[in-house]
Each structure stands twice: as structure tokens, then as C-alpha cells.
Amino acid sequence: MAGHITWFLPYVAVGLVAVVLLSRPLSLKSPLAHSLILWSVWFATYAVLFSVPPTHIHPYYLTMLAPAIACLVGISTVYLWKACPPYGGKGAWILLPIVALLLTAIWQCWVLGYYPKWQRHLVPVVLVGLTLSLVAFLVALRFRERTRLFGYIKIIAFGLGLISLSLSPALWSATPALAPGGRMVPLADPALLEHQASREPSDSDLAGVESLANFLVAQHRSERFLMAVADLHLAAPIIIATGKPVMAYGGYTGEVPTVTKEQFVNMVETGVVRFVMLNDRGPLGAFGRRGPSRHADIAEWIKRHGHEVESSLWRPSAAMPHDLYQPLPGWGPTDSMMYQMYRDPAVRLYDCRPVFISGQR
């Protein structure tokens, strides 16, 4: 997931060297030291947390690194600029911005190597921009005694380098606008452009949500919740479709012990909830993996005391084969997966306080 947050890491590493060289002695009480400590510790903490196996994370969690890397890039830019005369840079220090741009370009080309289609178009642009930047730096060195001309050329050199290195992350960031991904798992990734068609919910998927929502609304009486489900992945589309509350008694993943069986039974008896949806395959769980439910006792009670609602009453058609689109690696559940859950024969709707329902008793 390097392309989500690490585009300018080499740039920051060299920039911090420039900070140390140009700020000696650096007082720990100075605002600069405070900023460096804050953002460096921030970045290091989350980087280690997300890197230690067997950590499994969604790519959008990496946005927690964004404030730190953004501030460190800003600080690095200031001091890499100062490394050049006439701002106090001496001798070989002027090579620091050149090294920073060169190492960052190499890193970005390596990241783009995982996306051949993008690599074919962006790597030449990055290399051409970097080459022009380096040539401009060499020309600037030729005129370093002429302060004003040197300053103009240095601006051009530094600007060309930063623009060429910002192109790839900028285009990467634009991918959600060009091909929106799953609402539950927002992210920017070139793969969105390749998988856009397969990630769009079909008309039958949308009909499944609409049919279930209409049934629940028609049968709703005074219950606090329209329906109860094990996890949020089943609840979210119905909440969006109806605007009414749906209980996810297993939390976001279906694995959170939010209520006991006794508490759930009491909610049914007191009219807090009536309809419950179960999935025989277990809750979706974290990162789209199904597994044993921590609420198996609740599910068993529902099956024993509840009345299964005929699928023809809430599904738009007869049960269809379970044919989920496969999520891209590390993305977790997608919109299409959630919509198709309502067509899965393993999904059953139970009425825990049976009363007359049109079409069945």
C-alpha cells in the first residue's frame, strides 16, 4: 500500500538531514524542535502500528499518517531550499535538494512498477521532469556568483522537481472522482479505474434492498428498530433506503459483544425489535472474512422462537445462487457484496413476535 501515503518519504528523510545541518545547535525548546518531535513521533507510531504483523488494515486507515507526512514535507521543503546559497548553505549542502528529488523519483518509479499501465505513462513524465530539474540546478550552480540570476534559476529547478514528483500522487488521488469505489471502503487506487464496472450494483441488487425495505416498513408497528442484524454490513443499506434505525447487535463486524442473549430476549419481549435477519454463513466480520459468530446463542434463540418469513414476501424473486463479486485484495466488503447479501439463500428473515402478515400466518 505504498502508493497511499509514502510518495515523499525519501524527500522527507533527506529534508530532515537538511534541518539538522542548518539548525545546529537545535534547542529542544524551539518551535521547530516541537514540530519535528510531534510529527515524527506521530508518523513513526502509526507506521509501526500498521506494519507489525499480523496487522490487517483497510487502506483508508493510512489517512491517519497524512497530517504528519504533509507537515514533514513542508518542513523539509523549507530547509532544502535553505540548503542552497545564499540562505546559509555551504559547499556540498547544495546537493541535498538534488539528492532528495533524485531518491524520491526512484522511489516513485518503484511504486508505479506495481501498476504497469500507469508506469508506462507516468514514469517517463517523472524522469523527464526530474532531468530538467537537475539540468536547471547545474545551470544555477554555473551562475551561483550572480545572486539574482541564481535565485531565479533555482526557483525553476526546484519547482520543476516538485511538480514532476507531485504528478503521480495527484493523479492517484483523483481516481475516486473518476471511478468512485465502495462507500463502505473509500480509497484512492488506480485499480478503481480497471474494476469500475464490476463494482457497480446491478438492478437486481438494488431491487433486493428495495423489496426488503418496503416489506419491513409495511410491517413496522411501534418497534424502536425496523430490524436487527448481526453486523453493520447488513444494516447500512436498509438504513440508507428507509432512514429508519436498524440494530446491529454485533457491532460493525458482528463480533462485538454489545448485548447478551438475555438482553436481546428482553428487547424482543418489550417490543424494541421484532424482525431479525440472520446469515447461516456467519457475520461478515472484519475485512470481508466470514467466521463463527460470537452471538451464536442469540442466533439459536431466534431460530428456535422466531418464525421464518417466507422469502417470497421480501425478496424480489426466488432465491438466486450466491454470486458475490470478489473484492480487490485488502479492500474488504464492497457495495455490490452488500447488495447481493439479500439475494443469498443463506440469508433468512425471522419474525420474533409473529402476528398476521399478509400472505402467511
From the number of C-beta atoms within 10 Å of its C-beta (0-12, 13-18, 19+), residue 292 rates as: exposed
217: nearest Cα among 235, 192, 242: 242
Q: Which residue has the higher pLDDT, 341 or 273?
A: 273
- Angle value at C-alpha 221, between 294 and 264, nearest 5 degrees: 20
233: nearest Cα among 166, 165, 161, 290: 290
What pLDDT was estimated at residue 148?
77
Q: What is the pLDDT of residues 55-74, one digit of tens each?
A: 567 777 888 999 999 999 99
Give the pLDDT band (50/70/90) at residue 256: confident
What pLDDT was estimated at residue 318?
47
Question: Residue 136, CB half-sphere, CA atoms under 13 Å: how many?
Answer: 21
pLDDT at 342 over 80: no
Name the H helices within 113-231: 116-142, 147-178, 191-199, 203-219
Q: Which residues contact 35 (CB under 8 A, 6 or more apart)?
A: 71, 75
From the number of C-beta atoms within 10 Å of its C-beta (0-12, 13-18, 19+), residue 337 rates as: buried
Domain ranges of the chain: 2-192, 200-351
What pLDDT was estimated at residue 339?
41
Q: Which range, 80-94, 158-172, 267-281, has the best average confidence (pLDDT)?
A: 158-172
Q: Which residue has the higher pLDDT, 208 or 196?
A: 208
What pLDDT was estimated at residue 85?
66
d(CA 276, CA 100): 58
Q: How far is CA 264 from CA 244, 269, 348, 352, in A?
A: 19, 9, 18, 11
d(CA 333, CA 138): 51
Calculate what percentage of the chain has a pLDDT beyond 90: 35
d(CA 285, CA 333): 10
Q: Which residue has the higher pLDDT, 270 or 27?
A: 270
Q: Which residue has the higher pLDDT, 331 or 145?
A: 145
Average pLDDT over the chain, rounded to whole?
79
What pLDDT was estimated at residue 197?
42
What pLDDT was estimated at residue 187?
75
The conformation of residue 20, written as its DSSP 8-state character, comes to: H
Q: What is the pLDDT of residues 271-290, one digit of tens each?
A: 999 999 987 765 554 444 44
Name the maximum alpha-carbon separation found in the chain: 94
Alpha-carbon dihedral 226, 227, 233, 234, rounded to 10 degrees: -110
Q: State how beta strands 275-279 and 228-229 pair.
A: parallel
Question: Residue 1, CB half-sphere, CA atoms under 13 Å: how many?
Answer: 20
What pLDDT was estimated at residue 326?
38
Q: What does the pLDDT average to over 245-256?
A: 84
**Beta partners for 351?**
275, 307
Give the pLDDT band (50/70/90) at residue 293: low
What pLDDT was estimated at residue 151?
77
pLDDT at 115 over 50: yes
pLDDT at 199 over 70: no
Give the pLDDT band (50/70/90) at residue 26: confident
Count helices and strands (H / E) in the chain.
13, 5
The conformation of residue 63, written as its DSSP 8-state character, comes to: G
